[in-house]
Chain A
Amino acid sequence: MVLLQLLVNGIIAGAIYALMASSFSLIYNIIKFMDLSPGALFVVSAFSAYAFNILFGLNFLVSLILALIIVSILAILINKIVYKPLRNKNASNFILFLASFGVFLFITALILLIFGAEVRTFGLPITRGYEISGAIITKTQILLIVISLVLFLLLQLFMKTTKLGKAMRAIADDKQIASTLGINVEKTIAITFVISSLLTGIAGILVALEQNPEHTMGLSVILKGLTASIIGGIGNVPAALVGGFLIGIIENIGIWFLPSGYKDAIAFVILILFLLFRPKGLFGVKTREEASG
């Protein structure tokens, strides 16, 4: 039945938004600014995997790993060259946000430069999907959802149980105290960027498999990830999952009623509504810093 199909469509999209949202929240948690560069890393990952796998003919898994390595290095570089100097100068959130936009524009233009604008595909066989109670879903799409959920669980485990994860949460809570406790703040920040970029990178490759790599992929997906993050409660990484799926579902059910050209706008209307009426999101918790600023 149609509603189920719309739900399925929404969950598929939501899985990606959820990954982007957790990536976004992770960074926000630890350095308190809205970073748009994951949108660019998303695209870099997709194209790198494409380049290694299709252009250079390497094995898919190898291509995936190489792509993720590239993305991690890029994330560290961006942090080092752009964000760290700005943070050291005590730049405002807005400046950092703007700088991240600059990074996004720079990198996506670079991708266009290197790869041009032709049609690209991973060439996976296209078959009719499996039908479950009247809704159709393909193998790749199921994989996408499963991987997204697994990554999510892994992330939660990591944050809760490992020393690094705890360090990240400590810094998120209060940077000053964390550093006096002997935590290497800068190093942890760099690692956070790496983890965030891995999430984004995998999301990018999954989407590229499902929808083909394109240099315009990045902006919409990071903005919706951002929206999902805020809906869940910014900085609240587990809640990003809920936010992501919610956006995916509402978007798809929304264009059942509205002209489909407005699909993107739906997410932003939700964003504004939340910002106005419930800025801390569904599950957000105000940290000390937020409460004062």
Chain B
Amino acid sequence: MATKTTKGIIGIVAVAIIILAAVLIFKSRDTGEIKIGSIMPLSGDAAAYGLPLQKSAILAIEEINSQGGILGKQIKIIFEDGKCTGKEASSAAQKLINVDGVKVILGGLCSGETLGAAPIAESSKVILFSPGSGSPDITNAGDYVFRNFPSDASSGSKIAESAIEQGYVKVGVLSEVTDYAQAVSRVFKNKFKSLGGVISTDESFSSDASDFKTQITKIINAKPDAVYIVPQTPSKFGLVLKQLKELGYEGPLYTNEIAAGKDVLEQYKNEIDGAILAEPLFNPDDPISKEFLDKLTARYGELAGALPPVYLATTYDAVYILKEAIESCGEVKADCIKTHLYSIKNRKGTAGLLTLDPNGDPLFNYVLKVVKDGKVNEYKQ
């Protein structure tokens, strides 16, 4: 029954396979460049993070290349779309490691991506360096797994401590159903309760929903002393703020670093004013950080919109950290790079001072900040 269309389809598939094979062979030859892989969410909701961070990484790469590259060779960064899922990230890792032959991967961004790619990186002895994953599970994900972004664990607990100190005994929680937000909210709830607080309502919302009015109604109805919002998607956060105000809530607000994104600070300036947030220690006015942010804006325009700037900084730093590690090793050798990374202590970067602990996690804390007039300032209780 091999009709013309059948033959056509089989023909196309055969051609595709031949092309694929040719490209695979072509790709794995040595081109005199240093290849680095990267896994980030380039499509789907998380692309709101992935796309800007991609640009931050590219900025770093371009700078390094224009100054002679690493060890005299230009760097080529190969981006794969992790789609914020373990499955895509693991396929991406496979491809980067086995086809492109990279020994170093910048990524993942979402914790799911990092957790998906980690086993493959680990067994292939390839460095996986995440600039943005916060899941506590990553601490033990592997010897070759590093990150310069702190574990979510401290975000929630700082907020809990602050709330108790302020005398807030009843708190309503509204969190997004994503790995990061749930991890942070869980830590908060446990800590708050252990300090004697009461969670008056525990509500959540799905990442693709836009109507949180009923959850908010429930929260307000329980008359909490304060409300803690744990979003992950910036645009959803904005809607939560809007609906909170429309439904008449005017009390104290706690949240996370999503509030520090420029889009939110501008578009929801009034609604977010006075909110207290926990952010990984980042000072945008520090000369090095400021210089970086200015460079980024000059190159890409209003880029940092949805994203808390700290991620942009950690990504940029991560590229430079990897560069330094490769240089100190004289070649792209994963074991040597690994040793170098573990030895990082008080490295000054655009994201502040970095020291990595024996698990490959940064000794980096969350600090409390407060939003005032569209700006994020240090918070003193």
Contact = CB atoms under 8 A, between A and B. Distances in A.
Size class of the contact patch on chain A: 35 or more
B305 A263 contact: no
A212 B221 contact: no
Contacts of A116: 47, 51
Nearest to A129: B246
A52 B209 CA distance: 25
Interface string A228-271: 00000000000000000000000110011001110110000000
A121 B271 CA distance: 14
Interface string B15-52: 00000000000000000000000000001010110010
Given A220-B209, A261-B204, A121 B267 contact: yes
B248 interface: yes
B68 to A, nearest CB: 33
Contact of A13 (B48, B211, B247): B211
Contacts of B306: 117-119
B208 A261 contact: no
B140 interface: no
Interface string B261-285: 1011001101100000000000000
Contacts of A263: 205-206, 209, 214
Interface stretch (B127-135, B235-243, B341-349): B235-243
A42 to B, nearest CB: 12
B247 A211 contact: no
B360 interface: no
Given A117-B47, A129-B248, A261 B210 contact: no
A127 interface: yes
B238 A119 contact: yes
B238 A212 contact: yes
Given A112-B43, A128-B248, A259 B204 contact: yes
Interface in A88-135: 109, 112, 116-121, 123, 126-129, 131
Size class of the contact patch on chain B: 35 or more
Interface in B102-161: none
B198 interface: no
Contacts of A212: 210, 235, 238-239
Contacts of B207: 216
A214 B210 contact: yes
Contacts of A119: 48, 234-235, 238, 261, 263-264, 267, 305-306
Interface string B224-239: 0000000000110011
Nearest to B302: A118
B218 interface: yes
B100 to A, nearest CB: 25
B359 interface: no
A251 B218 CA distance: 14
Nearest to B217: A5
B333 interface: no
A4 B208 CA distance: 26
A207 interface: yes
B203 A260 contact: yes
A219 interface: yes
B213 interface: yes
Contacts of A109: 43
A261 B205 contact: yes
B43 A261 contact: no
Contacts of A112: 43, 47
A5 B216 CA distance: 11
B245 interface: yes
A5 B48 CA distance: 33
B213 A9 contact: yes
Given A118-B306, A220-B209, A260 B215 contact: yes
B199 interface: no
B263 to A, nearest CB: 4
B77 interface: no
B207, B246, B248 pick with most chain A CB within 10 angstroms: B246
15 contacts: A6-B214, A118-B48, A121-B238, A121-B267, A123-B267, A126-B246, A128-B245, A128-B247, A136-B248, A138-B246, A211-B211, A212-B239, A214-B235, A217-B210, A252-B214
Interface of A: 2, 5-6, 9, 12-13, 109, 112, 116-121, 123, 126-129, 131, 136, 138, 207, 211-212, 214, 216-217, 219-220, 251-252, 255-256, 259-261, 263-264
Interface of B: 43, 45, 47-48, 51, 177, 203-211, 213-215, 217-218, 221, 234-235, 238-239, 242, 245-248, 261, 263-264, 267-268, 270-271, 305-306
